[in-house]
Amino acid sequence: MLRNKLMLAAAILSGGAFASPAAAQNEQFVPILSYRTGAYAVNGVPYANGVADYYNLINERDGGINGVKLLVEECETGYATDKGVECYERLKGKGPTGAAFINPLSTGITFALTEKTATDKIPIITMGYGRADSKNGAVFAYNFPLLGTYWSAADIAIQHVAKEVGGADKLKGKKISLLYHDSPYGKEPIPMLQVLAKKYGFEFTPIPVTHPGVEQKSQWLSIRQNRPDYVLVWGWGVMNGTAVKEAAAVAFPRDKMIGVWWSGAEPDVQPAGDQAVGYKALMLQHGAGKFPVHADIEKYVYAKGKGASEPDKVGEVLYNRGMVNAMLGVEGIRKAQEKFGKKPLTGEQVRWGLENLNLSEARLKELGFEGMLKPIKISCSDHEGARDGRVQQWDGKGWKVISDWYTANQSDTEPLVEEVSAKYAADKKIQPRDCSKES
Amino acid sequence: MLYREAGQFKTTYAEDMAIFPIRQDRIALAILLGIAFIGVPLLADFDIWPFGSDYLLRAILLPFLILALAAIGVNILVGYCGQITLGSGAFMAIGAYSAYKFGTGVHIPLAWLGFAISIPPLPVPTSILLGGLMAAIAGILFGIPSLRIKGLYLAVATLAAQFFFDWVFLRVPWFTNYAPSGSVNAPALNFFGLHVGTPIERYLLCLIFVTVFAVLAKNLVRGNLGRQWMAIRDMDIAAELIGIRPLYAKLTAFAVSSFIIGVAGALWAFVYLGSWEPLAFSIDRSLQLLFMVIIGGLGSIMGSFVGAAFILILPIMLNLIPTQLGVPLSTETITHLEFIIFGSLICYLLIKEPHGFARLISIGKEKLRLWPFPY
């Protein structure tokens, strides 16, 4: 009896640091770092649901990736860096081959993990967030800021402003403010916007908002005094909704606000009600809405009662983003299986798959993502893969796409990427890989 | 029976004043240190469960050791000298950012004087200690108001330090070497020519720091200085009347406490996080440290360790139990349960034993002495 109790205690204390030996060997472990509690839960929940549902779909519909089932475990980070690091340590060694990749969904956690993941040889996928300089895969071999970095986002936002004011030459003398979450996430676009301000001659003012962002009175007072022509919003969680409400309170026109793609989902505008009408936000390619893949999710996941979300929230912006994120990771594993065999793979092998990922129009159609994404091709020197975006506007009921596609201007972003990543390589004594020799 | 000091005669003054006068305590401590210094690395080396994985070392023992060190620092100020502080997170940040600046080279251009102060990058151990020194200087500055204001009012003054330094490290790009995102990376951990990289090396490094500072602190608090602090804590007017200078006593407490907290901050940044932003040292960290000291026991070095373990490790364990037992709960339910159980445990503990774990331990010792008939 006592021995049983001791064994139970030991099992509890083992702390999940080990996969249980009974786990099937033909499984690929995929961790989910999510936040369903705290100040950022409004955005964290739909995203995590999208990720979980897509992994579930792969298991239910296809029986895994080429027969290798996905073994998924979620860990709550609460958007806190130290908890994120703890979660990473907890999950990285699970499953027969360890974590395939990690999606921290927090730029702060990404910064904290960048060095650790390179040592542990686990790719870190930061789709639409993370360090912008990690686009340079020669230095950041294990970082994948897929689909767009914040520097690309800043460039796209300024392109749209230029179009609205009637051309890039009209930007001269305009005032553009950046209302940003005071963390690595919000600070990331600043150097790019400074470069663009110099290039086009607009006046750029960064305005920080402290975590969690419910207190923005003084920021909006200064915006009212300064009267900028546009306010870019780099917010997350409750900060977004608050920004929209405060803008209404000081009568700043909502259609002169442009949120980044993390400030353009339903939970960001719905709490503000009618005050949010006219608010614009960038799209990380996709927007809200249902596509062929959603039909499969409803058929194979929700019909069996295994869905993570409330069914009416399927197809929301962040839900879709979680799905896209999960899909890119899964396709990375699939690509790696072509080279290393149809078995559970290590993080190092999955890294190769991600770096050689090439999703054509036809393949996206096969996957059911046609219309959500443009083709994406990753390479050693370009871990971003694609840098396209559109602009959407909230009409009180839904998001409407109001622009054509923009592509971030690489001639603007590239010098900064080179400069900052070279500095990182020098600081960390990393010998950049020669991308012409990678295959 | 085992824990009885009968028959242990002290024949010299040195023995009488020994740090651990009871032989059993010395043996227990020696065993504990033996396990920590030799046992854990050996178990890790032979991959013996659960020490073989990085998780225990990197995610549990490492933060535990560093936060225990910080808790010792807070305990000196709050527990021994009776000065409430809510700014310990800020002093950790000062330690971390100063160590970072010294470790990557300090350059202060003094344009109006026509020259610049330049210090080349210093070795990591020197940087960490200098980080502590900077925190001590800041501690003395923010300790000066303690001569005039007491209790809760002082707590508010230290809160000002917390917000001030949060602001400084967020807003002054010089401190982050103009990093675009405000997040900085620690330099490579080279100690006297050895590269500290693996979890076990990092663990041993922190263990050495913690042991040295714990012994120093233990000796300080039972010496002249510590007695001055405790006199000030118990009744400052009486202390002044018997010839203790409040200025000296309070400011030394601030200096020593901030020094230790600063070193802990530097270790937290360099050894545990590796890359950090000011949010790592926010007001939450200050409160966490204060709770560790209150739960562990005010005025007890041992209590700092137990408090750190309780506040840091228990929530992680609570979070792990459901998954480990295979209970199908969603992550948010587990997290909410963790908050509920942890919160109620704190309430229960403080009602049952307001003096914290240190008092529980000393009651246990008393009972052990009278065993098998304790009362």
Chain B contacts of A7, Cβ < 8 Å?
Answer: none
Q: What is the pLDDT of residue B325?
A: 84
Rounded CA separation B156/B142 (Å) = 11
> Smallest Cα–Cα separation from A35: which of A44, A22, A26, A24?
A44
Are A51 and A164 within one domain?
no
| Position A6 in a domain | no
Q: What is the mean pLDDT of chain B?
A: 90
Res A8 pLDDT > 70:
no
User: Tell me, what amino acid is at B92?
Assistant: M
User: Tell me, what amino acid is at B32?
Assistant: L
Contact status of A77 with chain B (Cβ, < 8 Å): no
| Position A431 in a domain | yes
Give the range among A8-17, B74-83, B218-227 with minimum mean pLDDT: A8-17
Confidence of residue A17 (pLDDT cuts 50, 70, 90): very low
Q: Closest residue of A to B49, CA-based?
A: A14
Q: What is the pLDDT of residue A356?
A: 94
Res A84 pLDDT > 70:
yes
Q: Which of A14, A34, A429 sits opposite B50 (nearest CB)?
A: A14
| Position A9 in a domain | no
Domain count, chain A: 2
Q: What is the pLDDT of residue A439?
A: 61
Whether residues A85 and B170 touch (CB distance < 8 A) is answered with no
- For A108, A126, A433, B263, B283, the CA distances from B158, given in Å and listed in that order, are 27, 38, 49, 19, 11
Q: Which of A34, A37, A86 sits opposite B59 (nearest CB)?
A: A86
Confidence of residue A24 (pLDDT cuts 50, 70, 90): low
Best residue of A12, A32, A42, A89 to probe chain B, by most B CBs closer than 10 Å: A89
Are A298 and A431 within one domain?
yes
Provide ipTM, 2 decimals.
Answer: 0.85
Are A429 and A356 within one domain?
yes
Q: What is the pLDDT of residue B241?
A: 96
Interface of A with B in 356-415 (CB under 8 A): none
Give the domain ranges of chain B.
20-52, 54-280
Please report, for the domain that includes residue A374, its CATH number: 3.40.50.2300
Are A208 and A253 within one domain?
yes
Instruction: Give the pair of three-digit tokens for residue A186.
Output: 């919000």
User: Are A145 and A127 contacting, i.e. CB atoms less than 8 angstroms apart?
Assistant: yes
Instruction: Give the pair of three-digit tokens for residue A386.
Output: 């694609």
Helix B88-104, helix B283-296: angle, nearest 10: 120
Are A154 and A269 within one domain?
yes
Whether residues B56 and A427 touch (CB distance < 8 A) is answered with no
> pTM for the complete prediction?
0.89
Whether residues A15 and B182 touch (CB distance < 8 A) is answered with no
Are A317 and A429 within one domain?
yes
Are A433 and A308 within one domain?
yes
Give the range among A249-258, A329-338, B345-354 with minimum mean pLDDT: B345-354
| Position A241 in a domain | yes
Are A217 and A339 within one domain?
no
pLDDT tens, A41-79? 999 999 999 999 999 999 999 999 999 999 999 999 988
Whether residues B320 and A12 touch (CB distance < 8 A) is answered with yes
The beta-carbon contacts of A271-276 under 8 Å, at least 24 apart in sequence, are: A271/A241, A271/A245, A272/A241, A272/A244, A272/A245, A272/A248, A274/A396, A275/A244, A275/A245, A275/A247, A275/A248, A276/A244, A276/A394, A276/A396
Q: How many CB pairs under 8 A join A and B?
A: 116
Rounded CA separation B209/B215 (Å) = 10
Q: What is the pLDDT of residue B323?
A: 79
Region A332-352: mean pLDDT is 94
Q: What is the pLDDT of residue B340?
A: 93
| Position A201 in a domain | yes
Whether residues B55 and A114 touch (CB distance < 8 A) is answered with no
| Position A297 in a domain | yes
State whether residue A23 is helix, strand or coil. coil
Q: What is the pLDDT of residue A20?
A: 44
Chain B contacts of A16, Cβ < 8 Å?
Answer: 320, 323-324
Region B333-345: mean pLDDT is 90
Give the range among A47-51, B129-133, B166-170 with minimum mean pLDDT: B166-170
pLDDT tens, B59-96? 899 999 999 999 999 999 999 999 999 999 999 999 99
DSSP string, A304-342: TT--SS-GGGTT-HHHHHHHHHHHHHHHHHHHHHHHH-S
Whether residues B276 and A131 touch (CB distance < 8 A) is answered with no
Q: Which of B185, B188, B280 sits opposite A82 (nearest CB)?
A: B280
User: Tell me, what amino acid is at B49?
Assistant: W
Are A276 and A384 within one domain?
no
Whether residues B55 and A89 touch (CB distance < 8 A) is answered with yes
| Position A4 in a domain | no
Whether residues A429 and B188 touch (CB distance < 8 A) is answered with yes
Res A11 pLDDT > 80:
no
Q: What is the dihedral of CA A340, A341, A347, A349, to 10 degrees?
A: 10
Contact status of A81 with chain B (Cβ, < 8 Å): yes
Res A2 pLDDT > 90:
no
Rounded CA separation B154/B2 (Å) = 46
* Containing structural domain, residue A96: 19-149+288-388+418-437
Whether residues A112 and B276 touch (CB distance < 8 A) is answered with yes
pLDDT tens, B232-291? 999 989 999 999 999 999 999 999 999 999 999 999 999 998 888 888 899 999 999 999
